[in-house]
Amino acid sequence: MENSEVYAVICISILLIAPVIVSQQIPADKRQVNAWFEGIIKPVKERGNSLDPELIQAESNPKVIKVRQGGGGEFNSVKKAIESVALGNTKRVIISIGPGVYKEKIKIERGKPFITLLGNPKNMPNLTFGGTAKEYGTVNSATLIAESNYFVAANLNIVNLASKPEGGKTIGGQVVALRVSGDRSPIYNYNIYGFQET
Ligand SMILES: *[C@@H]1O[C@H](CO)[C@@H](O)[C@H](O)[C@H]1NC(C)=O
């Protein structure tokens, strides 16, 4: 298996146990985080019917779509990969994103649940755009907007490139990098960059 596919599998397992995490506090000491995480993570089989039936159904046969800038994938942009997912999607679709800088404004609409955006942790892709509140309004200025439920993301840099607002002078200088508006949307190992309201 390619690295990204291995991580895809890990990611699915993580998603399925995610609702349990909410009930247990994250340790303040960084050194304890891995042990805490591993103590909570249980294989899908052990979760049994404690999961939402629609989630169990969605995860039963995940589809992987590869996005690669240098060729070798189904698409060369994340946006096109998301467009290829049908409205009313009922299956987990893992969009595996190869290394590189993707200058795109990405939106996953509400009618497309069960989408995963997955980078490679050793070479995390940059999702970048420069939307500002002045142009789009604050909530829609984000580089990555996920409005659907059961969205998952891992191993990404999410960047709003818009330049630094000048204190008190710039109007509409809010530049959001990430907005997640759906439910049950775990995100792992990511960095978000932006100058205001990131
Ligand atoms: C990705 O974005 C971060 C934050 O803006 C930046 O530090 C890094 O250089 C970018 N990587 C590439 C390959 O452009």
Cα of 126 to ligand 1 centre, how many Å?
6
With respect to residue 102, please indicate whether it lies within any of the assigned structural domains: yes
Contacts of 173 by beta carbon, 8 Å cutoff, 6+ apart: 132, 133, 134, 162, 165, 166, 195, 196
Per-residue pLDDT at 157 exceeds 60:
yes
Among 49-53, 84-88, 138-142, 192-196, whose mean pLDDT is lowest?
A: 49-53
Task: Say how far apart CA 155 and CA 94 lie, in whole Å.
Answer: 13
Determine which residue's CA is closest to atom 11 belonging to ligand 1: 126
- Kindly list the protein residues whose Cβ atom lies closer than 6 A to any atom of ligand 1: 101, 126, 157, 159, 193
Cα of 158 to ligand 1 centre, how many Å?
9
User: How does pLDDT run across 5-23, given as a tens digit for each residue?
Assistant: 555 555 555 555 555 445 5
Computed over every residue of the chain, the mean pLDDT equals: 88
Q: For residue 121, which of 98, 103, 102 has the smallest C-alpha distance?
A: 98
Give the atom of ligand 1 at the shortest distance from the alpha carbon of 159: 5
Range of the domain at 109: 52-193
CB 65 within 8 A of CB 75: yes
Higher pLDDT, 174 or 91: 91
CB 180 within 8 A of CB 146: yes
**Count of other CB atoms within 10 angstroms of residue 153:** 26
With respect to residue 183, please indicate whether it lies within any of the assigned structural domains: yes
Whole-prediction pTM: 0.82
User: How does pLDDT run across 47-101, given as a tens digit for each residue?
Assistant: 777 888 899 899 888 999 999 999 999 999 999 999 999 999 999 999 999 999 9
pLDDT score recorded for residue 99: 97
With respect to residue 34, please indicate whether it lies within any of the assigned structural domains: no
Choose the residue to mutate in 155, 157, 161, 191 for probing ligand 1, maximizing ligand atoms within 8 Å of C-beta: 157
Determine which residue's CA is closest to atom 10 belonging to ligand 1: 126
Average pLDDT over residues 117-144: 95
**Count of other CB atoms within 10 angstroms of residue 112:** 23
Cα of 162 to ligand 1 centre, how many Å?
13
Domain count, the chain: 1
Strand order in the sheet with 144-146: 106-108, 144-146, 178-180
DSSP 75: B
CB 160 within 8 A of CB 177: yes
With respect to residue 35, please indicate whether it lies within any of the assigned structural domains: no
Task: Say how far apart CA 30 and CA 42 lie, in whole Å.
Answer: 21
Where does the pLDDT of residue 1 fall: very low under 50, low under 70, confident under 90, or very high at 90 and above? very low
pLDDT score recorded for residue 21: 46
Per-residue pLDDT at 181 exceeds 50:
yes
pLDDT score recorded for residue 47: 77
CATH code of residue 122: 2.160.20.10
